[in-house]
Amino acid sequence: MKLSLRIGISASISTAIVLLMTRSLVIAAAFGALAAGIAFVTVKTKTGMSEAALVAAWPEVIDHLMSGIQSGLSLSESLAGLATRGPEVLRPSFVRFKSTLFSSGDLTEAIEELRAGFAHHGSDQIFEALLIAKSLGGSELLQILRTLGDFLRQDLALRREIDVKHGWIKNSAHISAAAPWILLLLLSTQPSTAVAYSTPTGAVILIAGLFMTGIAYIWMNRLGRLPQTPRVFTQGAESKLAIRSHLK
C-alpha cells in the first residue's frame, strides 16, 4: 500500500471515530492530523527496520563466502551461490548479481553494481576486500574476510546495545507526547469541552499543540539518532559505473 494512501486512510478513520465521540469537527480534524503523522512515522520505522535487517545479514554473507571458498569453490561461484543459500533478505540482490555475472562475464562489474545497490559502509568493505583479492590473487582472502566478519559483528552488537538504551528513552518520550492527547480525547466526550475547543481560540490551541508535538518528536529523534559510519569506497566505484553506462 502506498504511503499517501495509508496516511489518508488512517487520517480519515481517526477523524470519523473522534467526530462520533466528540461531535466536534475541530477536535476530530486535530486527531486526524495526529493519526496521519503517526502513520507516516510507522512507515518510516518499518523502512528503518528493513535497513537494519540488511545490515545484520552481512556477517552471515561473510560466513557463506568463507564456507564456499574453503570447500573449493571460486569467488564467483561463492558469490553466485548466495542467490539461493544466502540470507533471504539479500537473495533478490544476489539473483541480479548472478544474472549480471552470467550475462557480462565481468566479476568486477557485477560486484560494483552490487555495491552501488546496497550503498552501505559494511557492504562496501566486503566488496572492496573481494575486489582487492581478485586483483592481487586472494591468498589472504579468508583471513581478510574473517577479520572483517569479526569487526562487523562487534559493530552490530555495540549498535544494538545502544539502540536498546535509546529505545527506553524514545518510548518514554512517546508516552509523554501521547498523554495530553489521550486526556484531551477523554475530556472531549463532555459537551462543554467540545464546545470550548470548537471556538477559534480552541482551534489555535490545538494547532499549537500539534506543532509542538511534531517539533518535540523531531528533536527527540535527532538527539537519539546514531551517527552513521561514512562510506569511504564509493567514489571510484561510482566513476567506473558511470563510465560503463556511458560506453553502453
pLDDT in tens, 194-207: 888 888 888 898 88
pLDDT at position 127, please? 83
| Cβ neighbours of residue 135 closer than 8 Å, sequence gap 6 or more | none
pLDDT at position 243, please? 37
pTM given for the model: 0.64
pLDDT at 139 over 80: no
* Phi, psi dihedrals of residue 63, rounded to the nearest 5°: -60, -45
CA distance 174 to 183: 15
Kindly report, residue by residue over 65-78, the tens digit of the pLDDT: 888 888 888 878 88
Contact 206, 27 (CB under 8 A): yes
* Phi, psi dihedrals of residue 45, rounded to the nearest 5°: -65, -40
| % residues pLDDT > 90 (the chain) | 0
Closest CA to 23 of 189, 172, 184, 152: 189
pLDDT at position 47, please? 67
Query: No. of H helices and E strands in the chain?
Result: 11, 0
Residue 190: strand, helix, or coil? coil
Contact 124, 112 (CB under 8 A): no
pLDDT at 179 over 80: yes
* Phi, psi dihedrals of residue 146, rounded to the nearest 5°: -65, -45
